[in-house]
Structure 1
């Protein structure tokens, strides 16, 4: 991988300092120096700190000022914004709503997924909700299997906030590799095909175990019937990612390319971040951005991660440690150039 040294490093640092004095930040795109790598046109991601633009980065405040980790983001068929989060507050899956993506957000006093179903009844992680072609809603979630790791399951509802009814069995497990977590749905506008992108939870087996991000095609009708075999679209780079990559989220850009958000390092430490990569084909190869999109030094937050975009590639939600033991939800606008 390309590393900056000497005068190039000094120039990059100076540019970052200049960028930090503005209300938006542009993230460069790294082209791999390997001549055998596929050619992917570069993009720039500009972060916007509110619809109007904040005077400084320090103004970034939680959109949900309570424990709401691994947030999802959905604009439902009525135009309402809905977010879902990992277990908390006594609920399997938390749910919040807003009239505008930037808030104010209201955490609802209800469980979006109240039943245990095939799970152990605890540790429901990283939900994601999509609208199927028939107008119903499907939730992908990580459910714990009794005495073992996690599998990916689905649940369904006629309304965006639920309650969601769980299918009888999980759809993706990979227990021999550590389990499967962090699912996110995706519909390819070019083909109408649907997919689920997810992480192999290899770090449950040990720090040296693989933690690839995989892509699985599913039926466009029910969003859950598996079609073909999963394909790995991202692996960790130990020197850049630490022990894992996780929390994948796919977005299709206006020019048809595919933007993959993902996190690296451990969610418990300050190195946790949100990175991105771009590909011309949904199966890759995905070429990484030059630096993390969101990280502790740049944002002044502790361990920002779990980034999820709306389908229009304009709003990003994520969590960060806002105080001891609490991961609040934050919202940023962004644009692609």
Structure 2
């Protein structure tokens, strides 16, 4: 009876086996530099892939609760033959029906003043990923290059890829594109479709970082806009009639903007927990350190609810909030 009483007391107090159970968390969930997170879940583990740092082309973080993140090394130690080291941006991963994991990454095209998108393959989400192609998957040289690739699996199993032409690099408009992927995720099929353009005042010269999300039978294309190194950077969304549009920009954009604690929140990634709740991971600068190397763009997490078919981001939230999932 005494052992039973002690066990009950541990449960009531939120402890088991002497370990404290976290019931709340505070942002940022990863206080070091980790820009442009792309996230997948595999089993009970979440994997976050980020833009390059001093030691890794594609740094990895892992977590079992979306809050406590541990570094996992470089999942792409060798770039494709077409790419130069130093500007490996915005990686995202998807698992194919064949059980392979495909990593889409942005890198500088060798010998050219352009960023392009490549694809690399691994048997495990931890990598190492290998890009065996002799050329990039997408370049769009005439539109300034291509960056920020994001894969999506539709309800019928078809794979799609979304990205942004790097028009601002050559003083041209920027667009979000979509195109169908082959089942192995390594080639594009059909025609590419232009889905959105930076034609709203708040977007300024850039629209980027697309992610297609399905919710309650509807499709939402999340994106970021404005300058990434300013507090005007923010997140918006559009609703789409199908995976390749047409897409309608939301009137209430932007839906995630700077706060006194987080500047320039953006390059978001929406995840869905097993309980159906949705959360947004994104990067943000400390307001007094915008554009600095350290601490850089930190990883934040906030709840997303859906009100009358519209996503509402409850953030940036600096106070304590309930643990996700």
TM class by shorter-chain length?
0.7 to 0.9
Distance 2:24 2:203 in 1: 31
Distance 2:237 2:261 in 1: 19
- Determine which of 85, 90, 99 is the counterpart of 2:64: 99
Q: Which runs of 5+ in 1 are unaligned?
A: 1-50, 55-59
Distance 1:164 1:244 in 2: 30
Q: Is the 8 A contact 1:213 1:232 kept in 2?
A: yes
Which residue in 2 is equivalent to 1:239? 201
Which residue in 2 is equivalent to 1:86? 51
Which residue in 1 is equivalent to 2:114? 149
Q: CA RMSD in A?
A: 1.8
Q: Deviations over 1:107-148 (max 9, x none)?
A: 12x211000322012200000011111222110111110232
Distance 1:155 1:283 in 2: 24
Query: 1:162-311 residue pairs with structure 2 within 5 A?
Result: 162-168=127-133, 169-189=135-155, 191-206=156-171, 209-220=172-183, 222-255=184-217, 257-289=218-250, 290-297=252-259, 300-310=261-271
Query: Residues 317, 124 of structure 1: CA spacing in aligned structure 2 closer, same or farther, 3 A cutoff?
Result: same
Q: Indicate the SS of the match to 1:120.
A: strand
- If asked which structure has higher relative contact order (CA below 8 Å, sep 6+), I would say 1
- Give how far 1:254 is off: 2.3
Distance 2:125 2:161 in 1: 19
How many residues are paired up?
273
- TM-score normalised to the size of structure 2? 0.80
Q: Is the 8 A contact 2:100 2:123 kept in 1?
A: yes
Q: Is the 8 A contact 1:252 1:311 kept in 2?
A: no
Distance 1:311 1:253 in 2: 10
Kindly name which structure, 1 or 2, has the bigger radius of gyration based on alpha carbons: 2
Query: 1:21-40 residue pairs with structure 2 within 5 A?
Result: none
- Give how far 1:224 is off: 2.0
Q: Is the 8 A contact 1:251 1:311 kept in 2?
A: no
Q: Which runs of 5+ in 2 are unaligned?
A: 1-21, 308-325
Distance 1:243 1:305 in 2: 15
Work out whether 1:135 is the aligned partner of 2:99.
yes
Which residue in 2 is equivalent to 1:15? none
Distance 1:244 1:311 in 2: 27
- Give how far 1:52 is off: 6.0
Distance 2:272 2:130 in 1: 24
